[in-house]
Amino acid sequence: MTSISPDVTIETAKAPSARHRIMAGFIGNVIEWYDFALYGYLAGVLAPVFFPTDDPAAGLIATYGIFAAGFLMRPLGAAIFGFFGDRYGRARAMQVSVTMMVLPTLALGLLPSYAQVGILAPILLVVVRLVQGLSVGGEFSSSVTWLVETAPQGKRGLVGSWANIGSMTGSLLGVGAASLVTTFCEPDLLLDWGWRLPFLAGALMGLLAIWIRRNLHESKRFEQHHENRSDTSPLLQAFTTNRHETLLALGFAAGYGACFYIVFVYLPQWLTETNLLDRATALTLNTAMTLFIIPLMPLFAIVGDRWISRRSWILIALSVLSLSAWPLYLWMQHSDGSLFSILMTHVILFSLMAVPLGSGPALFVEMFPEEDRLSGYSIAFNVGLGIFGGLTPMINSSLIATTGTNMIPAYYTVLMAAAAVLILSFTPDRSRAPLR
């Protein structure tokens, strides 16, 4: 065997490393959001499978309740994986998180029904969703932190954007899989075993993710810092020494997350409730817009890398969102739901949200020092976006029902985007500086 000097080995290993790093960060978020979208769209199918069929409404509510329980586990998962990733490495955290996503997804596809094992069926479903919620709490922030830390300094935004590209791709795949199985399976076949197919397919994708992440290496920054690491808990540091950064990140995540959920989740429901579009058309348009912004995210991330500082770029986008939300919603209502007004509103809102979706991951990572970066980021992101953002559809529906004002989503977007802008104005811009 021909010997190769260490220097040559390092150089030849660099060629595929960028692609491998991006794919490793990308694939986990594909699986995470594939499962998220799949469970949500198949909730109506899963309800009679795992709950008694004599009360369909109660079964559906319970199914969505289990869906929400997974969200409640995200902050706990953030704390666990944040500590683990700061103490033992981001790559290890990514390997554990993807395994904890894949195994429950496989288990869900194999779970017995209520007709087979009775009350044990919903209990097992709860356990599966809780484990998945834990893994979700650590997956996104771990992969973003690792991607940004291993990226060249001038490409941190672009490389970090691949985590959100993975999220959007996974959502589209989940919606597509749910549509396929409900379209081509007869109702009885769907309830019998057809619903299992997309979950088992997700488990197969997960095995690919485990294989891709099997030999990940830590960033040089983490390895250098790890040698001189103090004994202080990174979780404690996130709430003491660096609580300023944690609070800023949490506030920004809450404001930005609320805007995200209004545009991406609640807007189709609002269009349906106001009789501006039928539900099928509203969902189709929403899916098309998600596909539309996937290439915009890396392009807008490049803008933040090269021409406009990342913080300023996001500030501009959210400021325009805050100023334009009210007239855009007013336009849709006063035009009696003209397709042109609805389409242009979607293009503007989704394009503006593509800026923080593309540049936001790097911005979060740059806010924290190495000592507690993953802990602070994970907790701030999952509490801010996962809880405050996730409650946004329910809050808007409740406010509309209470006030009778259909413009509530516009007012809420104005308020939350302005809050995110205010918080960002107090956030140092480190987009051109080395990571701390």
- The pLDDT tens digits for 167-199 are 999 989 988 888 888 888 888 888 889 999 999
Mean pLDDT over 258-272 rounds to 89
Yes or no: say if 161 and 293 are a contact pair by the CB < 8 Å rule.
no
CA atoms within 13 A on the CB side of 282: 18
Same fold, 10-229 and 233-436: yes
pLDDT over threshold 80, residue 402? yes
CA distance linking residue 284 with residue 282, whole number of Å: 5
Short-list 262, 247, 253, 297, CA closest to 420: 253
* C-alpha to C-alpha distances, 388 to 72, 134, 254, 260, nearest whole angstrom: 11, 18, 5, 11
Options 1.20.1250.20, 2.40.50.100, 2.40.110.10, 3.40.50.2000; CATH for 233-436 is 1.20.1250.20
Yes or no: say if 75 and 386 are a contact pair by the CB < 8 Å rule.
yes
Residue 275: Cβ within 10 Å count: 9
Q: What is the pLDDT of residues 15-56, one digit of tens each?
A: 337 888 899 889 989 988 888 778 777 877 888 888 887 767
Q: Which residues contact 396 (CB under 8 A, 6 or more apart)?
A: 262, 266, 270, 408, 409, 412
Q: At what angle do helices 6-41 and 156-184 cross, to 10 degrees?
A: 40
Residue type, 211: W
Q: For the chain, give every domain's residue range.
A: 10-229, 233-436
CA distance linking residue 225 with residue 370, whole number of Å: 7
Mean pLDDT over 388-406 rounds to 85
Yes or no: say if 299 and 157 are a contact pair by the CB < 8 Å rule.
no
DSSP code at position 434 = P
Yes or no: say if 84 and 17 are a contact pair by the CB < 8 Å rule.
no
pLDDT over threshold 50, residue 377? yes
CATH class as words, domain 10-229 = mainly alpha
pTM for the model? 0.88
Residue 237: Cβ within 10 Å count: 21
DSSP code at position 240 = T
Higher-confidence residue of 16 and 128: namely 128
CA distance linking residue 323 with residue 318, whole number of Å: 9
